[in-house]
Chain A
């Protein structure tokens, strides 16, 4: 039985089914809380717990899916390339906004972790939480964090950002689409970008530029911490 379950096909099929179900729920509910990734993770964990199948059997297929993370990150270059004209035109606001945003994110996480007396490993897992998952995972690994906690933090942050974005834009009276898009992308990566695209085209493009630029800047900051 356990030999049969440690075929990579088990983990792959279970992951796809859980994710497809998550996308379906998301389309039905249209709420950022119903995040497909979050639903899929919870479903797979529940399934493994209920059937008492060990995580290691699932991970045989899981590792296979994980192999696609690096190519998926690399392809973010295509979306930066597609927005390159807009990037050149607003180079200074983008670079300054992303640098200050990334510094504010890492600085506030570090400060709050000190206040809450969280240990170094937990802090390292949370530090890159505002950037897109593949980059955050790479950075957390480099700083000695637990990548699974990083994934949870990135997803929760993305959901918060997407939920709060319209409210925050009103609160800070943000009218400029460049500022709005960069702020949404800087604090809540791809999930925020989906929301930014609903608000407007320039907001969406700026937000997706911020994903790449903030990701790179965070990598550079992490190098210094390291």
Chain B
């Protein structure tokens, strides 16, 4: 019974999200995610209301993509024709993304430390960096 209620909460939010996707230029699943986050933050939905259901979905997330991946059978020639560029794009853009994120975060943390040190000279540096 408990699990049935949890399924209805999650599915209900997703159904609402799909309805909103007809008006908003966002994927329905993303709208549902934002809706659920708002409901959680406003405490309209408590994590324990959907715990078992969300644990089940999150822990087995990868499984739900099996059919989407198998569908590549139909477009396999498109991928095979472009296999090398495909792998090169995946590899190079992974490096670029990693480097861009690291340098941005490092720069911001450095700036925050600098500003913090200026406004609180006594507390010294490094106060912001540790979590």
Interface residues, chain A, with chain B CB atoms under 8 Å away: 11, 15-16, 18-19, 36-38, 40-41, 44-45, 48-49, 55, 58-59, 61-63, 65-66, 68-82, 84, 86, 89-90, 92-93, 96-98, 100-105, 108-109, 112-113, 116, 118, 122, 126, 129-130, 133-135, 137-139, 141-142, 146-149, 151-153, 155-157, 160-161, 164, 168, 172, 174, 176-180, 182-184, 186-188, 190, 202, 210, 212, 215-216, 219, 223, 226
Q: Which of A81, A156, A226 contacts B41 (CB 8 A)?
A: A81
Chain A residues within 8 Å of B95, by CB: 164, 168
Q: Measured between alpha carbons, how far is A226 from B65 in the docked complex, in Å?
A: 25
Asked, given contacts A59-B71, A148-B71, whether A70 binds B98 with beta carbons under 8 Å apart, the answer is no
CB of A190, distance to nearest CB on chain B (Å): 7
Contact code string B95-111 (vs A, CB < 8 Å = 1, else 0): 11111111011101100
User: What's the interface size class on B, roughly?
Assistant: 35 or more
26 residue pairs from A and B, CB less than 8 Å apart: A15-B66, A38-B69, A45-B72, A58-B67, A72-B58, A73-B29, A74-B10, A75-B57, A77-B40, A78-B58, A79-B58, A93-B112, A96-B105, A104-B97, A122-B78, A122-B82, A130-B94, A138-B30, A147-B71, A149-B72, A149-B75, A152-B69, A156-B86, A179-B106, A187-B101, A216-B30
